[in-house]
């Protein structure tokens, strides 16, 4: 990639596609696993409310930890960069959960002499689902920060997050396709031992490859090599002494360390993430946990305090964007989480609690595969729109583009409430892909624009510099994650009360309608 990283290199389509391989892999796991896991939890013995509670636990945990991780990544002093250590740590969590999920029955059988089989199996399955959900949701924040860090112009923002949205859509396409295929009658199914094991082994292989490729080639200079503005944002929360007139950072032991602003340059040796020769468990852990309280009488709660302060002092422009992003994401997230269950029970009249091999159980399984195909169409439309969304934003503006996506989503879910034909439902599901492309692109381009014009958008903030880019992206992602908590728990409770999975679509429509009005308030 050359000895010097210039803007033309960093914002080339080839580089952005390679770096966003981790985006593709993470969305691949999220899409495949979370269209397959709700039915899996129901079949394992969870009730609708129990299943929704398990699905909500991962994002609920992420909701509290995500802003802390965003703030600490802004200040991370690892020689591997500010963002890549966090991506690596969370990716390991995803790999671990994908390894355990298809083996929960074997692990349960091994521990049966020591624990009640059914209870232990349910707890283990729930723990694996929560780990996968938590890591896959939180992993997006350091990826978004990695893309946002070098952006200076609107064109660069639109291109970076347009490719981000495209790779998310392609990952979703691949994930939903993997779920929709009947692997039992294939060579891979015979080799891995059935549908479930084939599915999770494919996810494990594809995600691991995407993780290694992205982290190897991603350009993520250490904090001392970042541009001066980023250094200022990352260190505002610390008391910054000076050494010989230069700004100094505080190290973990409290000593001052001089920072010398450098241009964004990198040799070919510094560019790759040389896992085999450079990385070690000690280095990664020290960079990740330098802000976690140690076992001493003086416990440092500064990351949590800084996070709460960041939420309290959130500028008005960002508060408006945060609320709109919460509502739009709740609508789309609820639809994506439960569309397969809706197809299996409402459209195909199946029953997940029926005996294996019975007609209603086969109907439910066929509905799950057909629902995954509908979400595949949803993701294809999202991917196609992502290719053009940068030009659409330039022509229409960010807010109008946002409204366009959510208006189509609201119309599609409204019609779906009254039309239950299989083909027509799948066509309506494809239209919701426009909304998915907008919620994964527009909010982040807007926030990056806010940071480039803080004097305009953050003028009501007492200390605009206290809002680092990584911290604010984490706060924006917390809205996305909170939307999963709401849609996972509240939608499931409503379905249990109404006794119909059609309530999933009704809830998505209601949130979509509300979001159209909230988006209009965005600056």
Question: Looking at residue 302, what is its pLDDT?
Answer: 55
**pLDDT category, 261, cuts 50, 70, 90?**
very low
Over residues 25-54, the mean pLDDT reads 80
Distance separating alpha carbons of residues 310 and 505, to the nearest angstrom: 35
Over residues 35-54, the mean pLDDT reads 77
Mean pLDDT comparison of 191-200, 215-224, 291-300, 512-521, highest-scoring range: 512-521
Over residues 29-51, the mean pLDDT reads 78
In a domain, 252, yes or no: no
From 332, 340, 507, 479, select the one nearest 406 (Cα to Cα).
Answer: 332
Q: What is the dihedral of CA 133, 137, 139, 143, to 10 degrees?
A: 150
* Whether pLDDT at 245 is above 80: no
β 242-243/256-258 pair status: unpaired
In a domain, 496, yes or no: yes
List all residues 6 or more positions away from 440 whose beta carbon is below 8 Å from its beta carbon.
161, 164, 165, 168, 169, 382, 386
Select the more confidently predicted residue: 261 or 17.
Answer: 17
In a domain, 258, yes or no: no
Question: Looking at residue 267, what is its pLDDT?
Answer: 35
Select the more confidently predicted residue: 372 or 258.
Answer: 372
Between 189-193, 221-225, 319-323, the lowest mean confidence (pLDDT) is in 221-225
Query: Would you put residue 102 in left (φ > 0), alpha (ψ -120 to 50) or beta?
Result: alpha
Total Cβ atoms within 10 A of residue 459: 12
In a domain, 105, yes or no: yes
List all residues 6 or more positions away from 28 whose beta carbon is below 8 Å from its beta carbon.
171, 172, 174, 175, 178, 203, 206, 207, 210
Q: Are 143 and 83 in contact (CB under 8 A)?
A: yes
Q: Are 88 and 215 in contact (CB under 8 A)?
A: yes
* Whether pLDDT at 223 is above 80: no
Q: Are 404 and 376 in contact (CB under 8 A)?
A: no
Residue found by looking up tokens 């892999």 in the block: 25
Question: Looking at residue 310, what is its pLDDT?
Answer: 61
Q: Are 333 and 490 in contact (CB under 8 A)?
A: no
Select the more confidently predicted residue: 273 or 457.
Answer: 457
Over residues 239-244, the mean pLDDT reads 40
Q: What is the pLDDT of residues 492-513, one digit of tens each?
A: 788 888 888 888 899 999 999 9
Q: What is the pLDDT of residues 416-427, one digit of tens each?
A: 998 878 899 999
Q: What is the dihedral of CA 50, 51, 52, 57, to 10 degrees?
A: 90
What would you report as the CA-atom Rg of the chain, rounded to the nearest whole angstrom? 23
**pLDDT category, 461, cuts 50, 70, 90?**
low
Mean pLDDT comparison of 61-65, 162-166, 259-263, highest-scoring range: 162-166
Question: Looking at residue 149, what is its pLDDT?
Answer: 80
Kindly report the three-state secondary structure assignment for every residue of 162-220: HHHHHHHHHHHHHHHHHHHCCHHHCHHHHHHCCHHHHHHHHHHHHHHHHHHHHHHHCCC
* Whether pLDDT at 164 is above 60: yes
* Whether pLDDT at 454 is above 80: no
Q: Max Cα separation, the chain?
A: 79
Which domain covers residue 156, as residue numbers?
A: 7-224+308-519
Question: Looking at residue 65, what is its pLDDT?
Answer: 78
Give the tokens for residue 301.
């709660």
Over residues 286-291, the mean pLDDT reads 43
Distance separating alpha carbons of residues 328 and 435, to the nearest angstrom: 8
Strands across the sheet containing 242-243: 242-243, 246-250, 256-258
| 463 burial type by CB count under 10 A (0-12 exposed, 13-18 middle, 19+ buried) | exposed
At 379, which CATH number?
1.20.1250.20
**pLDDT category, 93, cuts 50, 70, 90?**
very high
* Whether pLDDT at 279 is above 60: no
In a domain, 254, yes or no: no
Select the more confidently predicted residue: 325 or 194.
Answer: 325
Q: Are 67 and 307 in contact (CB under 8 A)?
A: yes
In a domain, 301, yes or no: no
Instruction: Round the average pLDDT of the chain to a whole number and report it.
Output: 77
Over residues 217-222, the mean pLDDT reads 80
Over residues 124-130, the mean pLDDT reads 88
Question: Looking at residue 326, what is its pLDDT?
Answer: 92
Distance separating alpha carbons of residues 23 and 331, to the nearest angstrom: 22
Torsion over CA: 33, 166, 416, 331 (sign): positive
Over residues 352-367, the mean pLDDT reads 82
Total Cβ atoms within 10 A of residue 240: 15
- Number of domains within the chain: 1
In a domain, 264, yes or no: no
Q: What share of the chain is helix, strand, coil (3-state, %, to 5)?
A: 75, 0, 25
Which residue intervals of 45-83 are DSSP H helices? 48-75
Mean pLDDT comparison of 138-147, 260-269, 413-422, highest-scoring range: 413-422
Over residues 62-75, the mean pLDDT reads 75
β 246-250/256-258 pair status: antiparallel
**pLDDT category, 264, cuts 50, 70, 90?**
very low
Distance separating alpha carbons of residues 379 and 426, to the nearest angstrom: 12
Mean pLDDT comparison of 94-98, 218-222, 231-235, 368-372, highest-scoring range: 94-98
Distance separating alpha carbons of residues 395 and 6, to the nearest angstrom: 27
Residue found by looking up tokens 């294939």 in the block: 186
* Whether pLDDT at 287 is above 80: no
Over residues 295-311, the mean pLDDT reads 50
List all residues 6 or more positions away from 506 whose beta carbon is below 8 Å from its beta carbon.
417
- For the chain, percent of residues with pLDDT exceeding 70: 79
Q: Coil, strand or helix: which one is 97?
A: helix
Residues 315-354, buried b or exposed e (16+ Cβ, 10 A)?
bebbebbbbbbbbbbbbbbbbbbbbbbbbbbbbbebbbee
Distance separating alpha carbons of residues 404 and 450, to the nearest angstrom: 22
- For the chain, percent of residues with pLDDT exceeding 90: 16
Whether the model clears a pTM of 0.85, i.e. scores above it, the answer is: no
Q: Are 164 and 23 in contact (CB under 8 A)?
A: yes
* Whether pLDDT at 101 is above 90: no
In a domain, 208, yes or no: yes
Residue found by looking up tokens 């599609």 in the block: 412
Select the more confidently predicted residue: 279 or 410.
Answer: 410
């Amino acid at each position: 990639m050359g000895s010097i990283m210039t803007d033309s290199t960093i914002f080339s389509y080839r580089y952005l596609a390679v770096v966003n391989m981790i985006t593709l892999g993470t969305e691949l796991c999220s899409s495949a696993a979370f269209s397959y896991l709700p039915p899996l939890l129901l079949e394992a013995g969870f009730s609708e409310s129990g299943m929704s509670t398990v699905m909500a636990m991962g994002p609920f945990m992420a909701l509290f930890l995500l802003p802390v991780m965003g703030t600490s990544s802004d200040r991370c002093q690892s020689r591997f960069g500010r963002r890549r250590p966090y991506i690596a740590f969370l990716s390991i969590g995803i790999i671990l959960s994908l390894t355990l999920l298809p083996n929960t029955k074997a692990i349960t059988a091994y521990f049966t002499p020591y624990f009640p089989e059914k209870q232990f199996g349910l707890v283990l399955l729930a723990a694996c689902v929560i780990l996968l959900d938590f890591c896959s949701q939180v992993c997006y924040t350091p990826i978004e920060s990695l893309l946002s860090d070098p952006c200076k112009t609107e064109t660069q923002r639109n291109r970076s997050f347009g490719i981000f949205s495209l790779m998310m859509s392609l990952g979703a396409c691949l994930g939903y396709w993997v779920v929709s295929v009947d692997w039992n009658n294939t060579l891979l199914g015979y080799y891995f031992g059935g549908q479930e094991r084939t599915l999770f082994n494919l996810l494990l292989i594809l995600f691991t490859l995407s993780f290694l490729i992205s982290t190897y080639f991603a350009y993520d200079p250490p904090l001392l090599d970042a541009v001066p503005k980023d250094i200022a944002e990352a260190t505002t929360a610390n008391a910054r002494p000076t050494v010989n007139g230069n700004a100094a950072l505080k190290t973990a032991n409290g000593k001052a360390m001089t920072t010398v602003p450098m241009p964004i340059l990198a040799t070919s040796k510094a560019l790759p993430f040389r896992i085999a020769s450079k990385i070690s468990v000690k280095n990664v852990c020290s960079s990740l946990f330098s802000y976690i309280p140690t076992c001493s009488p003086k416990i440092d709660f500064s990351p949590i305090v800084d996070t709460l302060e960041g939420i309290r002092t959130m500028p008005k422009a960002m508060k408006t964007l945060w609320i709109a992003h919460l509502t739009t994401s709740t609508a789309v997230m609820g639809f994506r989480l439960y569309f397969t269950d809706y197809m299996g029970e409402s459209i195909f009249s199946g029953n997940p609690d029926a005996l294996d091999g019975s007609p209603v159980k086969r109907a439910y399984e066929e509905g799950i595969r057909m629902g995954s195909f509908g979400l595949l169409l949803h993701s294809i439309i999202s991917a196609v729109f992502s290719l053009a969304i940068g030009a659409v934003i330039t022509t229409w503006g960010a807010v109008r583009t946002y409204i366009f996506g959510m208006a189509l989503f609201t119309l599609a879910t409204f019609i779906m409430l009254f039309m239950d034909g299989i083909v027509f439902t799948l066509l309506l599901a494809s239209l919701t892909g426009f909304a998915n492309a907008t919620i994964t692109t527009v909010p982040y381009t807007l926030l990056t624009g806010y940071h480039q014009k803080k004097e305009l958008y953050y003028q009501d903030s007492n200390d605009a510099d206290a809002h680092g880019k990584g911290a604010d992206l984490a706060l924006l992602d917390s809205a996305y994650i909170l939307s999963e908590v709401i849609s996972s728990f509240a939608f499931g409770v409503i379905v249990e009360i109404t006794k119909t999975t059609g309530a999933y679509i009704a809830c998505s429509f209601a949130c979509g309608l509300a979001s159209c009005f909230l988006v209009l308030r965005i600056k």
